[in-house]
Structure formats: C-alpha cells, structure tokens
C-alpha cells in the first residue's frame, strides 16, 4: 500500500516543553486516520508541521514523497481549529480567494457544500456563528481536490446537529484517491469514519493500528479504547 504521509523521528520543542518527541507516523493513501489524544498531546502541533506552518526541531515529514514545504502546500488542504478568514470577507470573497490561490479548488463543489450546510455566499464571515464558521471552513477545505486533508478538531465546539452535518460532509466529499487525518478528542461521534487510528500522548504515539482490528482485538469501541489509554491523562 502506498504511503501519502511519512513522519520519522519528528521532534518539536517550545522552550522547556517537548510537544513532539521523536514521533513516527505514516498514513496510507485513500485512508482516513484518526489522530486521537487529550488536549496538549501534540495533535495540533503535528498537523501544523504537516501543513508547513510550523517548523520542527528534528526529523523528517514527507507528503507524497516530497518534504513538507511550499510545494506540498499545493496538495495539502488544512483545516485549523481557528477562524482564519479576513473579517472583511463575505463567503463569496473566501471562495474567490481559494480559487485564486489554489489550483485544486473546485468552485462547483464548494457551492454544493455551502448549500448542504445551509449557508449563503452573500453572508459576511464576521457575522457567522461558531457552528456556521466551522461549516464554512470545512466547506472550503473539502472543496479542494487535495491529496491529503488535515482536519484539526472539525467537531470542536459545535452542536450535535452541526456535528452530523459536518460528518456527512466529510463522508460524502472524501474521494478514495485522497487521505484524511482527523484530530479529535470527541471520539464517539466520529469513530465510524476511521480506517486507522493513532493515539498520541506527550508527543508520542502510544498505540496505533487498523480501527476494525483494534475493535475486534479488544472487543471495545475506539471511544472505549481511547478512554482506557488516556484514563490517567
């Protein structure tokens, strides 16, 4: 099986704190991987490094065989856990922006997703609620025909109805040619999406494997495994 992302011995330190400690991770092409861990475990740090928005102290990260950098940004679509659009923008401006800067942006797909999310292109970004913003940012992210999607806490702080919408959007718009890494600590809502999971604690992968095999081996759901692994965290 081809590997889309390969990280070897990745270390990231913030002053005295080690966010990633010689972390190794690989993601296969066409698979959805859950990167699961409690707050401060290193999930966001890893995604930022993979997105080329954070430097690492040591180690290597390659995406599609290319070291992370400006080149990989052309085929990696990243959804941060922040509202990153300019406040002056309307949704239409955000679409224009993506279209101008990303060659893989599919406007038709974006319009369809927006409709599915019950949003309108004329809406101002600054007037959107947290849930609406999350839906917009996910629509932008998924509307790119990227090789790898990095979704950082896509369900964070949104109501159950919006969660379902977001999960449906991910399922419906994910192509088999591309891979997804989803970070979350809300495992029960999202575990049905995962082909594989990696549990991260203190910047290290403490458990990983095929989601179905882990469930069968332990006769537990991924959510239950998560609670067991991190019971002392």
**Between 140 and 197, whose beta carbon lies closer to another protein?**
140
What residues between 65 and 104 interact with another protein by CB under 8 A?
Answer: 69-71, 73-74, 78, 80, 82-86, 88, 93, 97, 100-102
Asked whether position 124 contacts another protein by CB under 8 A, the answer is no
Instruction: Pick from 54, 119, 186, 229 the residue near another protein by CB under 8 A.
Output: 54
Strands 32-36 and 196-201: parallel
**Between 74 and 111, whose beta carbon lies closer to another protein?**
74
b/e code 164-179 from CB counts within 10 Å (16+ = b): ebbbebbeebbeeebb
Angle at 195 between CA 199 and CA 22, to 5 degrees: 35
CA distance 63 to 26: 10
Q: In this structure, which long-range contacts are made by residues 136-141, counting pairs with CB atoms below 8 Å and at least 24 apart in sequence?
A: 136/85, 136/91, 136/94, 137/79, 137/80, 137/83, 137/84, 137/85, 138/79, 138/113, 138/166, 138/169, 138/170, 139/110, 139/113, 139/114, 139/169, 140/94, 140/95, 140/98, 140/110, 141/77, 141/78, 141/79
**Between 53 and 127, whose beta carbon lies closer to another protein?**
53
Shortest CB 89 distance to another protein, Å: 8
Count of residues binding another protein (CB under 8 A)? 25
CA distance 82 to 26: 25
**Between 102 and 226, whose beta carbon lies closer to another protein?**
102
**Between 69 and 233, whose beta carbon lies closer to another protein?**
69
Asked whether position 52 contacts another protein by CB under 8 A, the answer is yes
Shortest CB 140 distance to another protein, Å: 9
**Between 132 and 187, whose beta carbon lies closer to another protein?**
132
Asked whether position 128 contacts another protein by CB under 8 A, the answer is no
- The contact set with another protein (CB under 8 A) reads 14, 48, 51-55, 69-71, 73-74, 78, 80, 82-86, 88, 93, 97, 100-102
């Amino acid at each position: 099986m081809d590997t889309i992302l390969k990280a070897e011995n990745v270390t990231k330190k913030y002053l005295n704190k080690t966010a990633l400690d010689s972390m190794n991770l690989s993601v296969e092409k066409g698979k959805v991987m859950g990167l699961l861990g409690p707050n401060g475990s290193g999930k966001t740090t890893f995604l930022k490094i993979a997105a080329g928005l954070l430097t690492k102290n040591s180690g290597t990260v390659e995406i599609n065989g290319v070291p992370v950098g400006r080149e990989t940004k052309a085929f990696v679509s990243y959804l941060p856990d922040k509202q990153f659009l300019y406040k002056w923008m309307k949704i239409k401006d955000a679409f224009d922006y993506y279209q101008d800067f990303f060659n893989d942006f599919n406007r038709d797909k974006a319009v369809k997703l927006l409709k599915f999310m019950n949003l309108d292109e004329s809406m101002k970004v600054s007037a959107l609620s947290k849930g609406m913003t999350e839906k917009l940012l996910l629509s932008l992210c998924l509307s790119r025909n990227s090789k790898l999607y990095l979704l950082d806490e896509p369900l964070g702080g949104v109501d159950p109805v919006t969660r379902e919408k977001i999960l449906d959007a991910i399922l419906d718009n994910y192509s088999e040619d591309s891979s997804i890494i989803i970070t979350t600590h809300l495992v029960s809502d999202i575990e049905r999406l995962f082909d594989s999971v990696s549990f991260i604690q203190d910047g290290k992968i403490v458990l990983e494997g095929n989601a179905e095999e882990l469930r069968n081996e332990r006769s537990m759901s991924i959510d239950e495994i998560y609670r067991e692994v991190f019971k002392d965290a």
